[in-house]
C-alpha cells in the first residue's frame, strides 16, 4: 500500500542502537501486518509517536473503518513508544489494549498520536488518539507494554532485534 517512508528517530537513539551494531532506521517498520494495512510511521520518540493509515482497504462489511484496524494502528504506535522508552536493552510486549471507537469513517487517512501516560522500569502505558483528516477523534486507545530484558534468561534465546 505505498512506499514506506523513512522514520525520523532522535539522533541519540540512532547512536545507541548503532553502538550495538543495529541500523535502527533500516530495521524499523510497522511490521508485516502494519505494512499490509498501509501504516506509515512519521515520527518516533519515547515522548511522541505519530503514524497514519488509510481507511481504504481497512474497512468492515458496512464500509466503515474497522475497529480492529484502529487497534492495529494504536498498538503499533504505542509499542514503538514503549520500545524507545525501554531502550536497546529491553523489548516491549503489549499486555493490555483498550479502544473506544467514537465515529465511523468511510474514506481518507487517519492519523494516530501516541503519548506516554506512564513510563516505568517494567511497564510503559501510552494513550493513542486516532483522528480523521478534519481532526475529529475517531478512536481513543490505551496500550500497556511490559518491558522485558533482551538478554537470554533460563536458557531462552534472546530476540534478534526489535
Cα distance between residue 124 and residue 114, in whole Å: 12
Element (H, E) at 15: helix 11-18
Active-site position among 12, 43, 56, 75? 75
User: What whole-number distance in Å separates Cα of residue 94 and Cα of residue 96?
Assistant: 6
Whether the CB-CB separation of 59 and 106 falls below 8 Å is answered with yes
Burial category of 62 from C-beta neighbours within 10 Å (exposed 0-12, middle 13-18, buried 19 and up): exposed
| Annotation says 75 is catalytic | yes
Residues designated catalytic: 75
Amino acid at each position: 500500500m505505498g512506499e514506506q517512508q523513512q522514520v525520523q528517530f532522535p539522533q541519540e537513539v540512532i547512536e545507541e542502537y548503532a553502538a550495538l551494531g543495529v541500523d535502527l532506521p533500516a530495521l524499523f517498520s510497522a511490521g508485516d501486518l502494519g505494512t499490509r494495512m498501509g501504516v506509515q510511521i512519521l515520527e518516533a520518540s519515547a515522548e511522541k509517536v505519530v503514524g497514519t493509515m488509510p481507511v481504504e482497504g481497512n474497512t468492515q462489511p458496512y464500509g466503515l473503518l474497522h475497529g480492529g484496524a484502529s487497534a492495529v494502528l494504536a498498538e503499533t504506535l504505542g509499542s514503538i513508544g514503549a520500545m524507545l522508552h525501554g531502550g536497546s536493552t529491553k523489548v516491549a510486549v503489549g499486555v493490555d489494549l483498550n479502544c473506544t471507537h467514537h465515529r465511523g469513517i468511510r474514506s481518507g487517512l487517519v492519523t494516530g498520536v501516541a503519548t506516554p501516560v506512564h513510563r516505568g522500569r517494567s511497564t510503559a502505558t501510552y494513550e493513542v488518539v486516532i483522528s480523521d483528516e478534519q481532526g475529529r477523534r475517531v478512536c481513543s486507545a490505551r496500550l500497556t507494554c511490559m518491558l522485558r530484558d533482551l538478554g537470554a534468561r533460563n536458557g531462552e534465546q534472546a530476540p534478534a532485534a526489535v
